[in-house]
Amino acid sequence: MKFYQMSPQERREELDKQGASLEPVAADKLDRLNDLSENVIGELELPLSCLTGVLVNNQEWRIPMSTEEASVVAAANHGFSVFAKNGGVIAQSRRDGIYGQIVLQVGSDFDLPSFTEQMPAYIDLANEEFSSLVRHGGGVRQIAARQEDDLVYLLALIDPAEAMGANKANAILEFLAGKMQNEPGVKDQLFAILSNYPSQLTRAEVTIDFATLTKDHDSVKGEAIAKKMALLSRIGQKDVYRAVTNNKGIMNGVDAVLAATGNDTRAVEAASHAYAVRDGRYQSLSSWEIKDGALKGKVVLPLALGVVGGSISSRPDIRQSYSILGKIKARDLANLVASVALANNFAAINAISTKGIQEGHMRLQTRNVVDLLEATPAEKKAVFEMMTSQHQYGETAAKVFLKELRGR
């Protein structure tokens, strides 16, 4: 029997024979997991964190985040604490729809103008076939066609309503392609599939008073920090090495919220990096500038998100995230995700502009190092305090401090 044909328990037994060491998992849970993926043999667990008191569009929110990196949640928390002192984030999501492509191979007798005239009829046909989507506020919005040699490229804009919409879009596209094959001059359908090209852009903005950038509310020091942050931002617009690292930090926060809410991290990552190169060169997705006597930050992201359908309904661990969020529309979720991106980005360039990025990271990573020590909980706590107070990190430092502690 092939591996994929086995039950999850049989796969585990096979791996055990080969020397693999697997974590225990209840049989009923293993069966549920098997319905979600292929070749299932267990599970990976990630912490579920929660940001509270997040002020976006003059409303307080709780935001779930799922990531194994503590610094990502800490950075978002810090960013939002500063934002709250400045009136919070203003965000706006444009949800026109997601793109889908149909590519047809045509002969010399194909007439593009005549074919294009049929597009309104095709839109009506699709919306009639998928009337349930229309009833929820979605549907096919437009279809554009262009021809290059013997290939016709059709780009459809599909409003998925409150869902991510990938599966529904693919079904609509395949339905349309099947009908279009009967048009005069069409020889073959090459593909009909969703495109992850950037769509549904969401903008998040914040204005920060200089004084809130320092603990002592020194506006002079705060202005100096703000100017350095604006300079770093300008470098991110021009230097690809800085831009890609800047965007990775942005996506840290984005991916954590997407994972917690059952949204597609890979699709958003692909669209975001495509959007970063929209002007012909890769640049930062965020910008910070000094304007009107304040630091102004902005991020624009393509966020084709959903709050219904897919794994959102079938996974209890995802449903708990929506109980944290409360009743929410896809547009609101996109606004929150973009706001988290801005908060994480703020925290990163603020740290670089002041004390540096490494100390905060190392302090948080020290928890993992200390947890691996063969020591009592009280000893681990004492070692952690010794390491962070003396700014000495890493496994070697942990062992030295433990030995010193026991020597006392």
- The Cα 294–Cα 210 span in angstroms is 6
Is residue 134 one of the residues assigned to a domain? yes
Do 139 and 251 lie in a common domain? no
Do 307 and 333 lie in a common domain? yes
Average pLDDT of the segment spanning 27-37: 89
- pLDDT one-digit tens code per residue, 345-365: 999 999 998 875 555 556 656
Average pLDDT of the segment spanning 108-133: 94
Spot the catalytic one: 69, 129, 150, 174. 69
- Nearest-CA neighbor of 85 among 208, 205, 203, 204? 208
Spot the catalytic one: 187, 238, 248, 291. 248
Is residue 114 one of the residues assigned to a domain? yes
Which CATH number do you get for residue 110? 3.30.70.420
Helix axes 27-34, 8-17, angle to 10 degrees: 110
Do 55 and 118 lie in a common domain? no
- pLDDT one-digit tens code per residue, 1-10: 899 999 999 9
- In terms of residue numbers, what domain contains 79? 49-90+200-356
Is residue 44 one of the residues assigned to a domain? no
Least confident of 98-102, 260-264, 278-282, 369-373: 369-373
Tally of domains within the chain? 4
Is residue 309 one of the residues assigned to a domain? yes
Residue 239 annotated among the catalytic residues of the structure: no
Cβ count near 185 (within 10 Å): 16
pLDDT higher than threshold 80 for residue 43: yes
Q: 3-state class of 143 per DSSP?
A: strand
Do 216 and 351 lie in a common domain? yes
The widest CA-to-CA distance across the chain, in whole angstroms, is 92
Residue 361 annotated among the catalytic residues of the structure: yes
Average pLDDT of the segment spanning 302-325: 88
> For all residues of the chain together, what is the average pLDDT?
91
Percentage of the chain surpassing pLDDT 70? 98
What's the pLDDT score for residue 144? 95
Cβ count near 352 (within 10 Å): 15
User: Which of 148, 164, 194 is a domain's end point?
Assistant: 194
Spot the catalytic one: 162, 209, 264, 332. 264
Amino acid at 338: A
Is residue 332 one of the residues assigned to a domain? yes
Residue 69 annotated among the catalytic residues of the structure: yes
Do 334 and 350 lie in a common domain? yes
Is residue 40 one of the residues assigned to a domain? no
Which CATH number do you get for residue 343? 3.90.770.10
User: Which of 194, 214, 247 is a domain's end point?
Assistant: 194
109: its two tokens = 């007798």
Phi-psi domain of 167 (left: phi exceeds 0; alpha: psi -120 through 50; beta: other)? alpha
Q: 3-state class of 347 per DSSP?
A: helix
Residue 269 annotated among the catalytic residues of the structure: no
Spot the catalytic one: 85, 228, 361, 399. 361
Do 319 and 385 lie in a common domain? no
Is residue 39 one of the residues assigned to a domain? no
